[in-house]
Amino acid sequence: MTLKNYIGIIGALLVIAGGMMPMLHIPIIGNWNYWDLDTVLASIVYSLATLSLIAAASNKTGLLRFCGWTLLLVLAFTFGAVYFKVSNYFNFIPLKKLAAVAGRMIHYRWIGWALIASGAILMILFSGKNKKPQIH
């Protein structure tokens, strides 16, 4: 195995670790990781991380790069969905100012987001290009 394979494996492990880290803190309820945010998106992320582990170990650079881009896309979608959910989480409260104050009590925990993004970026940048064999 080459250094690119090991960096791909490290990237996949970073994605798995980032999914287990807290990503959102809601008062009284506690910290939420990726699985608590949405089980379907978490299943997609963990499946892609597992697929990228296999791709890195078997030197499939195209598949590894695809998994990295797809993980970034799913992460951006999740962040947008969480942002809109947080901004509308307390709409059931009839007083708008009180609902806004309650919405500001929800905090992002950036370590999980950063680990997933950095793992996906490692997969993309260090996967390298497929070299075509030269025929003489």
**38-76 residue pLDDT tens:** 899 999 999 999 999 999 999 888 999 999 999 999 999
pLDDT tens digits for 79-112?
998 888 877 766 677 777 777 777 778 888 899 9
pLDDT for 48: 94
Binned at pLDDT 50, 70 and 90, residue 131 comes out as: low
pLDDT score of 103: 72
* Alpha-carbon separation of residue 60 from 16, 27, 109, 131 (angstroms): 19, 43, 33, 11
d(CA 119, CA 107): 23
- Angle, nearest 10°, between helix axes 3-20 and 110-125? 160
